[in-house]
Amino acid sequence: MLREAYFILARANNNYNGHRVKAMKEIEEAGELAGMHLKVEGSGHERQVVSDAELRHARELLERVRDSSMGSRRFHRHVRAAIKEVSLALSIK
């Protein structure tokens, strides 16, 4: 779920005042703690309405990861921070 959320954010439109990228960095940190290497360059070019729907889906996945028992406190701190950044990104109009 963490990997899927990361790549959803990577495909998303770049129009989120930096919050999408901040969320991706938090997920990268959580991934490192879980032994995953997550890294992509650039962003997608989806229409905004599609991109927003994708971000909502990524947030749902991250919430499921947050609610799971896997990972350390640091892992969950990064996941919670990513959820916050995705929520901030979605508040951008």
Q: Residue 65 belongs to what domain range?
A: 2-38+49-91
Share of the chain above pLDDT 70, in %: 94
> pLDDT value at position 40?
78
Q: How many helices (H) and strands (E) does the chain have?
A: 4, 0
In a domain, 44, yes or no: no
> pLDDT value at position 39?
82
Helix ranges, 1-93 (H): 2-11, 19-33, 48-67, 73-91
In a domain, 14, yes or no: yes
State the total domains in the chain.
1
Q: Give the number of other Cβ atoms within 10 Å of residue 48's Cβ.
A: 13
In a domain, 60, yes or no: yes
> pLDDT value at position 87?
97
Rounded-to-integer distance, Cα 44 and Cα 41, Å: 10
In a domain, 43, yes or no: no
Q: How many residues does the chain have?
A: 93
- Name residues of the chain where pLDDT drops below 50: none
